[in-house]
Amino acid sequence: MALADRTAGRESSSLDVRRAWRQADYWATLYLRTWKSSVVSSFITPLLYIVAMGVLLGGFIKGDPSKLEGATSYLAFVTPGLLAAQGMNTVVGEVTYPVMGMIKWQRIYFGMIATPLTVSEVVLAHLGFVVFRVATVSAVFLAVMAPFGVFESFTGVILAFLVQLLAAVAFAAPVYALTTRLKDESGFSLIFRLGLIPMFLFSGGFFPVSNLDTWMEWLAKATPLWHVVDLTRMLVLGTVDGSTALIHVVYLVALAAVGWVLAVRGLERRLIS
- Look at residue 171 and tell me whether its pLDDT is greater than 90: yes
Does 19 fall in a domain? no
Of 273, 266, 271, 263, the closest CA to residue 124 belongs to 263
Number of domains in the chain: 1
Its domain, for residue 250, covers: 37-100+133-271
pLDDT tens by residue, 188-230: 988 888 889 999 889 888 888 888 899 999 999 999 999 999 9
| 79 occurs within a structural domain | yes
Separation of alpha carbons 222 and 232, rounded Å = 16
**Over the stretch 227-240, which tens digit does the pLDDT of each residue have?**
999 999 999 998 88
Please check whether residue 255 lies inside any domain of the structure. Answer: yes
Is 127 part of a structural domain of the chain? no
124-157 pLDDT tens trace? 999 999 999 999 999 988 888 888 788 888 899 9
Window from 13-22, 96-105, 260-269 with minimum mean pLDDT: 13-22
- pLDDT, mean over the chain: 86
User: Quick check: is 125 in a domain?
Assistant: no
DSSP 125: H
Q: Establish if 240 belongs to a structural domain.
A: yes
How many CB atoms within 10 Å of residue 174?
A: 20
- How many other C-beta atoms lie within 10 A of the C-beta of residue 58? 20
Cα separation of 174 and 262, whole Å?
7
Residue 16 counted as domain residue: no
Q: Do 89 and 141 contact (CB within 8 A), yes or no?
A: no
Residues of the chain by 3-state class (helix, strand, coil), percent to 5:
80, 0, 20
Q: Phi and psi of 228, rounded to 5°?
A: -70, -45
Residue 118: the pLDDT is 92
266 within some domain: yes
